[in-house]
Amino acid sequence: MTGDRVAVSVALEMLLAGNRRFTAGTPEHPNQDAVRRAEVVPGQSPFAVLFGCSDSRLAAEIIFDRGLGDLFVVRTAGHVMGPEVLGSIEYGVSVLGSPLVVVLGHDSCGAVAAARAAVQGGAPATGYVRDVIERVTPSVLAARAAGCTEDADYIDTHLRHTVDLLIERSRVLADAVEAGSAAVLGLSYRLADGTARLVTARGLDG
Ligand SMILES: [Zn+2]
């Protein structure tokens, strides 16, 4: 870890402020120059771990208007997790000192749509795509059981499930949230206007 650890609330405000600049069309592109490049050579202390869907339309540093050394990014289709994802996120929090873990979902998510189609009896996917879809399926089944019909409700349910699952499976994250030294949030991104809406939070006021 290098530099001082920032507070959870400060980290969240940095992230949301960047998203406001992006949506307003007034990005500042901070930390993207040669000075910053040199500054972070000795080490990194990203203020947030971003665990998002791989979708090419939600590139992390662009939609949060940040630069080098700011975000520790882990992305998989449908933000599904396995041991490598958990290890990467834990590294960002426990070794690099990030106080914030953000799960980033979005509307029109192909992974969620594919899981919904599979649950409705569609043809199963092949190869490892099937593995991704199967990891989204519990969220889809839960949303369906709760009577959800809208895409947004499925996305929100999958975000809540992912945040809960992270804390359930990672003792490191659970302890950090419990100690008030980290928060795990779920943000839902809208492709059309670029906004990131808070859907769920664990440890935000800790
Ligand atoms: Zn997606």
Residues forming a β-bridge with 73 = 50
| Distance from Cα 154 to the centre of ligand 1, integer Å | 12
Binned at pLDDT 50, 70 and 90, residue 104 comes out as: very high
Q: What is the pLDDT of residues 127-178, one digit of tens each?
A: 999 999 999 999 999 999 999 999 999 999 999 999 999 999 999 999 999 9
pLDDT for 6 equals: 81
Distance CA 95, CA 90 (A): 8
| Distance from Cα 29 to the centre of ligand 1, integer Å | 24
pLDDT for 123 equals: 84
- The Cα-based distances of 84 to 28, 74, 76, 166 in angstroms read 33, 10, 11, 12
| Distance from Cα 113 to the centre of ligand 1, integer Å | 9
C-beta pairs of 113-117 under 8 Å, 24+ apart in sequence? 113/151, 115/78, 115/139, 115/140, 116/140, 116/154
Distance CA 56, CA 126 (A): 22
- Antiparallel, parallel or unpaired: β 196-202 and 183-189: antiparallel
| Distance from Cα 133 to the centre of ligand 1, integer Å | 11
Distance CA 72, CA 50 (A): 6
Three-state secondary-structure class, residue 134: helix
| Distance from Cα 164 to the centre of ligand 1, integer Å | 18
> What's the pTM?
0.95
Q: Which residue has the tokens 């935000």?
A: 204
| Distance from Cα 81 to the centre of ligand 1, integer Å | 13
pLDDT for 205 equals: 74
| Distance from Cα 166 to the centre of ligand 1, integer Å | 18
| Distance from Cα 112 to the centre of ligand 1, integer Å | 7
In this model, does residue 25 exceed pLDDT 90? yes
| Distance from Cα 56 to the centre of ligand 1, integer Å | 9
What is the rounded end-to-end Cα distance, in angstroms, of the chain? 22
pLDDT for 126 equals: 92
